Each structure stands twice: as C-alpha cells, then as structure tokens.
Amino acid sequence: MLEFDDMELFQLQFCMKQTQGQMSMGGEIRRHASITKKIEDEMARRKETKGSYTPEHVRLQLEEELRALMKQMDN
C-alpha cells in the first residue's frame, strides 16, 4: 500500500486532472478513472476525519512547515 501525505495526495490529484485528456484507449481511460476515484475518495475521507484540505488545516500545515524552516535556519 502506498502512503501519501496530504500535500502529495493533492499533487497527485492535480497530475491526474492534467493527464485525463491524454488517455485514448478504453483500458487507459477506465484505469485513469479508477485511480482518480480512489484519490478523491481518500481525500474526502481525510477531509471528514481530520479536516484535511480545509483552509484551517492548510494554514496549520503551512505554519508547521514555517516553524521547521526557521528552526533549520537557526541551527
């Protein structure tokens, strides 16, 4: 099983949207749709269970990353 953090999953969703129009064969289209659905289902689950992908959660993630960067700069 692959494990993605919230931002990786968000990036993967973006990539799937960008490549959707490039699928030409029936099997490619079905697999692409299946993968896209799994990504969106997981994102919805995370939004329901821990508030991911909400403005508040994104703000908190950015604050954590900023604190980590500032700590690195101090060392």
- pTM, to two decimals: 0.73
**Number of independent structural domains in the chain:** 1
Residue 50: inside a domain: yes
Residue 70: inside a domain: yes
CA dihedral sign, ordered 19, 25, 28, 31: positive
Residue 29: inside a domain: yes
Boundaries of domain holding 22: 6-74
Pairwise CA distance, residues 56 & 46, whole Å:
14
Per-residue pLDDT in tens (0 to 9) along the chain, 75 residues: 889 999 899 999 999 999 999 999 999 999 999 999 999 999 999 999 988 888 888 898 899 999 999 999 998
